[in-house]
A and B are shown apart, each in its own frame.
Chain A
Amino acid sequence: MNKSKLLMVLAAFSAAFGAGGASARVGVASVVEGEPLGVPPNGVERILRVGIDMSADEKVTTGANDRAHLVFLDGTSLTVGPNSTVLIDKFVFDPQKKNGEMALTVGRGTMRFVGGVISKTSEVRVKTPSASIGIRGGIFTVTVSPTG
């Protein structure tokens, strides 16, 4: 393999895998109190600040004095209350067709959900340690007690 072919192969690998560390943006942190934490799929934990991009598969964790408000690309908003963990299991949105899929897991604590475009056309799936539910549209609050 000559040098130019080798460079082309390396460039292809870079394009295919180099973006792996930068997950697709699904929304932003819009309001934060305290120092809520986010762990995106690349595993590098960061303190969520206003304007930080959120990723699918990102886990949000709050302490006793923390709260995080997130806005998604379809207009859905989530407020993660104190002492909570919420995992964005899935977020896929087609802004042209105005549809998509969304799934969340609330491990503990409180999450308030205000539906956006996705929830108006398909169920948003919410899992907790003891229950799973699909919800279409609307506004709801999920609280998971310390015992699950």
Chain B
Amino acid sequence: MALRAIRVRRMKMARSLANSFLASGVLAAAVLVVAPVLAQTPSTKAPPRALTLPAPAPAAPQGQTPNPTVQQRAAYETAFQASLQRPSDPDTLARFAELAVQVGDIEGAISALERLLLIEGDQPEVKLELGVLYFRLGSTDAAAMYLEAARASPEASKETRERAETFLKAAVR
């Protein structure tokens, strides 16, 4: 798939994730402290930090638990197996992330998108998606980091900047 097509697909996915979250209007109940020191572009090397063992992720807030169909679940499993066979293929990862969100596997989506960043570097749409997903987990620090990066990226479209700004306001509230 052409790079432009992948980018368009990611833009649509970011819009979809952002809209689904805004429609719910619910913040996660607990805060997960995350230090995503390794989710950086390949050129940035993170220095070691002190031992950090944060609290576990909260369960999905009530009312937000997805109820995937059998078809969605099957598609998700297929996409996961594809991601094991083609672990660094951007389109495979984007597809898996999309389906993971649909079935409520937020951590799986985060893992795939952070891998995408490791492979492709500065992708403001992906950073926006990651910001939204961390926001859904209640990890506002990690959400703010990605949203700020999406907003500051010279590659970001006006729409991406505006959406990142919207979520940033909610994240720091």
Q: Do A and B bind each other?
A: yes
The segment from A2-10, A13-21, A86-94, A140-148 found at the interface with B is A140-148
Q: Determine whether B56 belongs to the interface, using a CB cutoff of 8 Å to chain A.
A: yes
A135 to B55 alpha-carbon distance, docked (Å)? 8
A126 to B55 alpha-carbon distance, docked (Å)? 14
Grouping DSSP codes into helix (H, G, I), strand (E, B) and loop, the B interface class, with mixed when no group exceeds half, is loop
Chain B residues within an 8 Å CB radius of A27: 84
Number of interface residues of B (CB under 8 A): 37
Complex contact B48–A145 (CB within 8 A): yes
Q: Determine whether B53 belongs to the interface, using a CB cutoff of 8 Å to chain A.
A: yes
Chain B residues within an 8 Å CB radius of A77: 111, 115
Which chain A residues (62-120) contact chain B, with CB distance < 8 Å? 65, 67, 69, 71, 73, 75, 77, 79, 81-83, 109-110, 112, 114-116
Within the complex, the shortest CB–CB distance from B65 to chain A, in Å, comes to 13
Q: Which of A71, A115, A133, A143 contacts B83 (CB 8 A)?
A: A71
Nearest B-chain residue to A148, judged by Cβ: B51
Compute the total of residue contacts between A and B using a CB distance below 8 Å: 125
Nearest A-chain residue to B77, judged by Cβ: A95
Q: Determine whether A139 belongs to the interface, using a CB cutoff of 8 Å to chain B.
A: yes
Q: Determine whether A37 belongs to the interface, using a CB cutoff of 8 Å to chain B.
A: no
Known interface pairs A71-B111, A75-B108, A138-B107. Does A112 touch B52 (Cβ–Cβ under 8 Å)? no
Complex contact B84–A128 (CB within 8 A): no
Chain A residues within an 8 Å CB radius of B34: 139-141
Complex contact B46–A139 (CB within 8 A): no
Complex contact A69–B115 (CB within 8 A): yes
Number of interface residues of A (CB under 8 A): 42
Q: Determine whether B8 belongs to the interface, using a CB cutoff of 8 Å to chain A.
A: no
The segment from B11-19, B37-45, B152-160 found at the interface with A is B37-45
A133 to B46 alpha-carbon distance, docked (Å)? 24
Within the complex, the shortest CB–CB distance from A132 to chain B, in Å, comes to 10
Q: Determine whether B80 belongs to the interface, using a CB cutoff of 8 Å to chain A.
A: yes
Chain A residues within an 8 Å CB radius of B119: 31
A-B contact pairs, 8 of them (CB 8 A): A29-B87, A109-B48, A110-B37, A112-B38, A139-B32, A139-B36, A143-B51, A145-B48
Known interface pairs A75-B105, A139-B34; 17 further A-B residue pairs with C-beta atoms within 8 A, sorted by A's residue number: A31-B88, A33-B42, A67-B42, A69-B115, A75-B108, A79-B114, A82-B46, A112-B37, A114-B114, A133-B53, A139-B32, A141-B38, A141-B52, A142-B51, A142-B52, A143-B51, A144-B51
